[in-house]
Amino acid sequence: MRVYTLLFVLLLSYTSQGQLLSLEQCLEASRLNYPLIADFENLDQQLELKLKNLNTNYYPKLDVTGQYTWQNDVPGFDSPAPGFDIPKAPKQQYKAFVDVQQVIYDGGKTKAAKHAEQQNKIAEKQSVEVQLNSIRSKVIDSYFLILMIEEQEQQLDYRYASLKQRFEEMQSAVNNGVLLQSESDLFEVEILKLEQDRFALQEGREAALDVLMELTGKELALDSELLLPLGSSQHIRPEYGLFLAQQEQLNAYSHLTARKRMPVIAGFGQLGYGNPGYNMLKDELATFYMVGFRLSWNLWDWKVTSREKTLLQLQSKSVKTQEATFSKNLSLAESEIQSHIRKLEKVIEKDNDIIELRQRITASKQSQLTNGTITAADYINELNSESMAKLGKELHLIEKSRAEIELNELGLKSSDDIKN
């Protein structure tokens, strides 16, 4: 018996001197600890490279070409007068030249493409936020599991202290021959059972704490104290940001699609050296060059642009439908949680009345036990009932706190609220 008592006291040795942790701290740490957070920097680097590539549309394009050809015939005609030969282009030709082209006006295509890439990055980042948000529920589960285990431990400690005191009184009565040993043995058996339960709770708490450490990346001591959340700031669901980003992304693509049919004006030039030059009738090496302007305008694309715009409109409608469905599901969940909170508030009111009555009954049974008018089993049953009533109230308080957190986690907002 002394060995069990010593082990039990050692398990009770941890106190609230350890680090204090709040749910908000754990949620923030879990976000920073999640490997996917590194994807934000990756997306920024990708966008930077894409924008640099698009900026090159404004730079001059230089193409160097060299060619050698031999052909079996060349244009020409016979001389009308004897002794007068009209020169012909050589059948063997070779030249090297540089083509330069500079866009002067591209109809806003590059600007629209850059905006589309920026909206792509925003949408991809928001998609990452949605994935990061999924870790929050796991943190909340682990956090409240630890709180519930700790509350069970506290109630167990209360019962242990009460039974230990009664056991010592009963043992003294047994030693004086006033009470049978079997009555004292009931207390000792109950104490041993509490010690077993205490070990099981300790193991469960350590396991839940390990999960929380894995999620947050924090080194948590066994004596870490988790604070019961009394409320939290309104959590904005990242899904709404994703819906908004997807709409802006589709708008950017629609604008880009409209720019595709705009005219393009470019300046160009060519400088080369070869045989023949631009004068095909001279069979000799020559330098040649040319400068000018070019206008390109796709006047008819067989309604490809029109169909692309219609497709983007349908995709936009699909996103709105998804958002409405998401909001509807959250609204239903909100109603269920609010109903659950109201029920818990009423249950907690009754818990207070039950605890008050149980305490009076236990005090009466304790007096009866001392006077020998009831058995040890009767007292233990009443003590357990009082302890369970207290535990029930505390668990209901924790459950209510969790329901309030879950209500905030729903983040029932419209994308218009986020935009504003």
Who's near 251: CB < 8 A, 6+ residues apart?
Answer: 119, 316
Answer whether 244's CB lies under 8 Å from 418's CB: yes
pLDDT at 281: 80
Q: In which region does residue 97 sit, left (phi positive, over 0), alpha (psi from -120 to 50) or beta (all else)?
A: beta
Round to whole Å and give the CA distance between 191 and 187.
6
Answer whether 164's CB lies under 8 Å from 396's CB: no
Lowest mean pLDDT across 13-17, 57-61, 78-82: 13-17
Distance from the Cα of residue 308 to its chain's centroid: 32
Counting residues of the chain whose pLDDT is more than 70, the rounded percentage is 90
pLDDT at 369: 84
pLDDT at 67: 93
**Higher per-residue pLDDT: 18 or 354:** 354
Answer whether 198's CB lies under 8 Å from 8's CB: yes
Counting residues of the chain whose pLDDT is more than 90, the rounded percentage is 65
Q: What Cα–Cα distance (Å) separates residue 193 from each residue in 186, 196, 199, 353, 376?
A: 11, 5, 10, 29, 16
Nearest to 216 by CA among 274, 224, 399, 189: 224
Nearest to 186 by CA among 385, 366, 361, 378: 378
Tokens of 35: 């490997």
Q: What is the mean pLDDT of residues 373-379?
A: 85
Round to whole Å and give the CA distance between 57 and 259.
15
- With a cut of 90, say whether residue 224 has pLDDT above it: no
pLDDT at 417: 52
pLDDT at 251: 96
Angle formed by the axes of helices 181-216 and 23-33, nearest 10°:
40
Round to whole Å and give the CA distance between 271 and 245.
48
Q: Is the peptide bond prior to 276 cis by the omega test (within 30 degrees of 0)?
A: yes
Q: What is the mean pLDDT of residues 269-296?
A: 91
- Which class for 10: exposed (0-12), middle (13-18), buried (19 or more C-beta within 10 A)? exposed
- Give the CA diameter of the chain: 157
Q: What is the mean pLDDT of residues 331-355?
A: 95
Q: In this predicted model, what pLDDT tens digit does every residue of 69-101 receive, in sequence order?
A: 998 888 776 666 666 667 778 889 999 999 999
Who's near 315: CB < 8 A, 6+ residues apart?
Answer: 250
pLDDT at 18: 57
Round to whole Å and give the CA distance between 213 and 362.
41
Average pLDDT of every residue of the chain: 87
Q: In this predicted model, what pLDDT tens digit does every residue of 132-152 receive, in sequence order?
A: 998 999 999 999 999 999 999
* Residue given tokens 């934000």 in the structure block: 40
Q: In this predicted model, what pLDDT tens digit does every residue of 306-316 receive, in sequence order?
A: 999 999 999 99
Answer whether 273's CB lies under 8 Å from 288's CB: yes
Q: In this predicted model, what pLDDT tens digit does every residue of 32-56 receive, in sequence order?
A: 999 989 899 999 999 999 999 999 9
Q: What Cα–Cα distance (Å) separates residue 9 from each residue in 2, 4, 113, 160?
A: 10, 9, 70, 11
* 302, amino acid identity: W
Answer whether 239's CB lies under 8 Å from 326's CB: yes
Q: In which region does residue 411 sit, left (phi positive, over 0), alpha (psi from -120 to 50) or beta (all else)?
A: left
Q: Where are the alpha helices (DSSP H) in 12-108?
A: 23-33, 39-55
